[in-house]
Amino acid sequence: MEKKTILWKAVCAVVVVALAVLLLSGLLNNHDVRYHKDALTRDELTHTKVEAPDTLAYDGTISADSWRETFPYIAASMDDNAKNDEIVSYLEQDPYLVNIYEGYGFAKDYGSARGHAYTLEDVHNTERPHATANCLTCKTPNFAKLVQDKGVEVYTYDFDEVWNQIHDMGEAVSCYTCHGNSAGNDGELRVTHTYVNKALGGNVQTIDPATLSCGQCHIEYYFTPADKETMMPYSSVDTMTPEAILEYYDTMVLPDGTVGFADWTQESTGAKMLKAQHPEMETYLQGKHAMDLNCADCHMEIKLAEDGTVYHSHELVSPLDSPAILESCVRCHGDENMTQKVHRIQDQITARETEIGNRLSAFKDALAEANQSGALSEEKLDEVRTVYRHAQWFFDYCYVENAEGAHNSQLANHCLDLAEQKIAEGMALLGK
Ligand code: HEC
Ligand code: HEC
Ligand code: HEC
Ligand code: HEC
């Protein structure tokens, strides 16, 4: 074949490919123009490889202030978490909780969560008693670092002593929490809370890092009876269901040889109770979005700075408050009104919570009465106490999840169904 023909063929091929690319990108752009006017995607992020600053905090962590010069937009956006500053008292909003949680700290003080900037302040101000430093687990990177350096014994250190030190020299949830000291290395995410690796082992790899970084704290956890270490009650995504976790607690062998973990024993009913805590990651991972999206996709807006830097805003917002994040829903939800969709779910779940919470409270009163009157045998009472423990667990698992059904309405309703069944079963046993 002549050289000219080869050259000609090559030119043609290039032209064809170029046309195809133009056509395709045109189509995609069209789609973008229609649906994502301003929405930026992960692909447009500008990852900068930089040296980590060499200014270390007292414990060897790199603080947000030290990163500020390198990542000004990210650091400033993290500061914006202070804007989310309101606390609603759940006990005033839902008075039946005071009765259900009788004998436990949450009956004294239980306010809604607010921005990460307040974690240290709020853990100090709560009227819930905190005997040891383990309450600091999810409030500050400096406690995570202390556990890494000194081991599980720090969970039993005196709360005030550790809090004072961190309050003076450390910081609230910060860069180190989610990135270790490597935020400069493309924002690589690192697990800094040791119990995550202990509980999940190799299964850590099965969870998207941008979900697991939040899942270091937005999870159900307990303090191990032996050394008060913070721990997750499962070992894989498959065992992150309310049923499997209840089974885990029910069958746990305690240091004294008895079986069954309890957060507290309730005086009026004699029941060994469990308190669920914000199982956001567990609820989310059993839901409809688990395969395709991570926490950052819905709670961290991708922004464009004046100098052209594209970055993840580190202000953790509700997707409903961010037009840019709402734009990203269109890809799968089309022109469905997402705010209405979310509110419809939340209204339905909250209405059921109020109704079932009040019934649970009435069940508790009936059990307390039976416990005090001596009308039932201890064996029969124990049977009802277990039913009550389980009803409370399923109710709580739904109630304390902060998305109010939006992360997974099916699971929220399932928990409420189970609570309802258990209440009916218990009332029947009491002859009510
Ligand atoms: C070190 C533990 C920790 C990590 C990691 C963490 N959070 Fe939080 N988060 C908290 C605590 C504690 C609060 C409540 C703070 C308060 O009320 O003082 C909170 C509050 C929030 C709130 C405000 C809740 C409200 O009702 O206003 C949002 C939203 C949130 N976190 C999202 C996230 C997301 C998304 C991630 C991952 C990118 C994440 N968090 C990672 C501990 C953590
Ligand atoms: C598909 C989008 C989506 C994903 C992914 C998602 N969330 Fe949410 N999340 C929501 C919506 C919607 C709400 C309800 C917002 C509201 O009430 O304004 C919410 C509420 C919350 C809240 C309560 C605070 C608030 O702003 O109302 C927290 C905390 C939270 N999510 C954490 C997480 C964590 C942690 C993950 C990952 C395990 C996650 N979310 C994944 C959509 C999402
Ligand atoms: C609560 C967890 C959390 C905290 C605290 C946090 N980050 Fe991030 N960071 C993330 C997540 C999640 C991403 C997105 C990663 C992804 O999806 O690829 C991210 C991304 C980044 C990136 C990559 C570029 C980008 O915008 O996506 C950099 C750089 C970064 N963070 C720096 C920091 C710095 C500096 C701080 C402290 C001022 C900080 N981060 C605090 C969770 C966190
Ligand atoms: C990758 C595709 C995809 C994206 C992106 C997506 N969703 Fe979804 N979402 C789904 C699918 C599939 C369902 C299940 C069908 C349905 O309920 O519409 C769903 C369901 C939901 C539900 C109902 C969940 C439940 O358990 O009842 C809510 C709420 C929701 N999405 C909110 C959002 C929000 C808010 C965004 C944008 C921040 C978003 N989704 C982005 C695929 C997606």
Q: How far is the CA of 406 from the centre of ligand 4 (A)?
A: 9
Gap between the Cα atoms of 364 and 97, Å rounded: 11
Closest residue by Cα to atom 6, ligand 1, is 214
Ligand 2 atom with the smallest distance to the CA of 293 is 5
- 40 within ligand 3 shell (Cβ under 6 A): no
pLDDT given for residue 40 in this prediction: 76
- Stretch 287-295: mean pLDDT: 95
* Ligand 1 pocket, mutate which of 83, 128, 214 (most atoms under 8 A from CB): 214
Distance 298 CA to ligand 2 centre (A): 7
DSSP line for 107-160? GT--B----GGGHHHHHHH-SS---BGGGGTTT-HHHHHHHHHH-GGGGGSBHH
Residue 22 clears pLDDT 60, i.e. is over it: no
The protein residue with its alpha carbon nearest to ligand 2, atom 9, reads 403
- Tokens for 380, please give them: 């029969």
Compute φ and ψ for 169, nearest 5 degrees.
-120, -15
Q: Please say whether the beta carbons of 160 and 117 come within 8 A.
A: no
* 199-211 pLDDT tens trace: 999 999 999 999 9
Tell me if 187 CB under 6 Å of ligand 3.
yes
* Segment 230-264, tens digit of pLDDT: 999 999 999 999 999 999 999 999 999 999 999 99
Q: How far is the CA of 311 from the centre of ligand 3 (A)?
A: 9
Report pLDDT for 12. 54
What residues does ligand 4 touch, defined as CB less than 6 Å away?
A: 287-289, 292-293, 298, 319, 325, 328-329, 331-333, 338, 341-342, 345, 406, 408-410
- Is the pLDDT reported for residue 32 higher than 50? no
DSSP 275-329: -----HHHHHHTSTTTTT--HHHHHS-EEE-TTS-EEE--S---GGG-HHHHHHH
Determine if ligand 3 sits within 6 Å of the CB of residue 147: no
Note the pLDDT of residue 118.
94
Cα(398) to centroid of ligand 2, in Å?
Answer: 14
Nearest C-alpha neighbor of 170 from the set 182, 162, 180: 162
Q: Which atom of ligand 1 is nearest to the CA of 115?
A: 23
Q: Is the pTM of this model over 0.85?
A: yes
Our CA dihedral for 179, 184, 186, 187, rounded to 10 degrees, sits at 30
Per-residue confidence (pLDDT) for residue 36, from 0 to 100? 40
In degrees, rounded to 5, the angle at the alpha carbon of residue 111 between the alpha carbons of residues 129 and 126 is 25
> Does the pLDDT at position 405 exceed 50?
yes
Q: End-to-end alpha-carbon separation of the chain, Å?
A: 96
Q: According to the model, what pLDDT value does residue 39 have?
A: 65
Residue whose CB lies within 8 A of the most ligand 4 atoms, among 332, 339, 413, 415, for a mutation test:
332
Residue with tokens 């029910």: 250
3 state SS for 161-204:
HHHHHHHHHCCCCCHHHHHCCCCCECCCCCCCCHHHHHHHHHHH
- What pLDDT score was predicted for residue 264? 96
CA–centroid distance, 382 to ligand 2, in Å, is: 38
Query: Mean pLDDT over residues 331-349, rounded?
Result: 96
Q: What is the pLDDT of residue 44?
A: 84
Residue bearing the CA closest to ligand 4, atom 1: 292
Is residue 341 over pLDDT 80? yes
Summary mean pLDDT of the chain: 91
The predicted pLDDT at position 31 comes to 34
Q: How confident is the model at residue 23 (pLDDT cuts 50, 70, 90)?
A: very low
Ligand positioned closest to the Cα atom of 293 = 2
Burial of 411 (0-12, 13-18, 19+ CB in 10 A): buried
pLDDT on residue 5: 60
pLDDT at 28: 42
From ligand 2's centre to the CA of 195, what distance in Å?
A: 23
pLDDT > 60? residue 34:
no
Does residue 188 surpass a pLDDT of 50? Answer: yes
Question: Looking at the predicted structure, is the pLDDT value of residue 29 above 90?
Answer: no
| pLDDT above 70 (res 35) | no
Percent of the chain scoring above 90 in pLDDT: 81
Q: Which residues line ligand 2 (CB under 6 A)?
A: 211, 214-215, 218, 280-281, 284, 289, 293, 295, 297-299, 318-320, 342, 402-403, 406-407
Q: Ligand 1 in contact with 80 (CB < 6 A)? A: no
Q: Which residue has the higher pLDDT, 21 or 267?
A: 267
Give the distance (Å) from ligand 4 centre to CA of residue 408.
Answer: 9
Smallest-distance ligand from the CA of 334: 4
| Distance from the alpha carbon of residue 333 to the mean position of ligand 4, in angstroms | 7
